[in-house]
Amino acid sequence: MSASAAALQEAFEDVEPRIPGRATIPSGPGTRSRTYVCHAEKHCIDVLEDEDLLFSFGEFGNGPGQFNEPGDVAAVVFRPKAGISGSTLPSGQFVVVADRGNHRLQLFGLDGTPISTIDPWLGRMRRMDLDDRSGWPFFRVNPLPQMVLPSVLEWRAPFLTVTGGDGRVVVVDLELALLPDFQTWLSTTPSVVVRDALDASLRPSIHDHIPEMDLWAVDSHVRSDLRLVRNTWA
């Protein structure tokens, strides 16, 4: 990590005390600080610049960029993945919103653009006897941790601690949670990327644990490349 990136991440992590429902992006050269404030009653996020309202984003609903009583917001930084091609992980500064009533998290750009949704209740998958980061930084092999009424967020890179309305505390590996599940990744990724990524990221000791139904539930143009990858593990 460069010195400037490290300083930025340290600034994000050391802003104290943090007020629940608010997150501040520190000011930088030529920029003013911004504060993101959850507005549960209006189901939106207000963005303040030096305490003046700059803009708002979000509305009531359960689609991308919509909220049901957002409970908290956290500022996060993802550093670039040098030397890694084919990964869909974002890099830069973002805000994560605890979409309380929808039991999920949402990631946004600083301008309020929806980036990704972390919804553990959609497309539930069975847990496998693999390390959670076996497919990182391309895909995840295990389900997302379940969250009930996520209400309070605490960011300590690379983990986001989520406290639910039921009092349960869940630690989310945030970058991992942003990755697609294995089967989705296989069906949406060009075959040459699939071949190279699997060859680079999956260890021989775990490839036999990947369900055959997942390996072959993809379009025919990918299957031959997957067969080549599996043969290299033999």
171 and 222 housed in the same domain: no
79 and 190 housed in the same domain: no
163 and 144 housed in the same domain: yes
DSSP at 60: B
Per-residue model confidence as pLDDT tens digits over 161-193: 999 999 999 999 999 999 988 888 888 888 888
More confident residue, 16 or 74: 74
Contact 107, 116 (CB under 8 A): yes
Structure token digits, residue 50: 């030096």
Task: Quote the CA–CA distance of 101 and 99 in Å, as a whole number.
Answer: 6
- State the DSSP H helix or E strand holding residue 195, giving kind and residue range, or none if neither: helix 191-201
> Count of CB atoms within 10 A of residue 80's CB?
13
Contact 155, 172 (CB under 8 A): no
109 and 28 housed in the same domain: yes
Q: How far is CA 189 from the centre of its chain?
A: 18
Q: Which of 131, 153, 177 is the last residue of a domain?
A: 177
Q: Strand, coil or helix: what is 57?
A: strand
- CA angle in degrees (0–180, nearest 5) for 139-140-142: 160
Count of alpha carbons within 13 angstroms of residue 140, beta-carbon side? 23
pLDDT of 232 above 60: no
194 and 169 housed in the same domain: no
Task: Quote the pTM value.
Answer: 0.75
Q: Which of 151, 177, 203 is the last residue of a domain?
A: 177
Task: Quote the CA–CA distance of 19 and 35 in Å, as a whole number.
Answer: 11
Sheet with 34-39, edge to edge strand ranges: 22-25, 34-39, 44-49, 52-57
| Distances from the Cα of 66 to the Cα of 39, 98, 112, angstroms | 12, 11, 11
The model's confidence at residue 107, banded by pLDDT at 50, 70 and 90, is very high
**Percent of the chain predicted with pLDDT > 90:** 43
217 and 154 housed in the same domain: no
Domain that holds residue 200: 182-233
Task: Quote the CA–CA distance of 177 and 1 in Å, as a whole number.
Answer: 22
145 and 98 housed in the same domain: yes
pLDDT of residue 210: 43
Instruction: State the total domains in the chain.
Output: 2
pLDDT of residue 28: 76
Provide the H-helix boundaries in 65-177.
Answer: 174-177
Per-residue model confidence as pLDDT tens digits over 18-27: 788 999 988 7
130 and 221 housed in the same domain: no
- State the DSSP H helix or E strand holding residue 182, giving kind and residue range, or none if neither: helix 182-188
49 and 77 housed in the same domain: yes
130 and 113 housed in the same domain: yes
pLDDT of 220 above 70: no
Bridge partner list, 118? 105
**Nearest to residue 97, comparing CAs of 52, 133, 67?**
67
pLDDT of residue 173: 92
pLDDT of residue 95: 97
Task: Quote the CA–CA distance of 85 and 51 in Å, as a whole number.
Answer: 40
Question: Rounded mean pLDDT of the chain?
Answer: 79
Which of the listed ranges 3-17, 18-32, 48-62, 210-224 does the model predict with the highest average pLDDT? 48-62
Structure token digits, residue 125: 């998958």
More confident residue, 104 or 210: 104
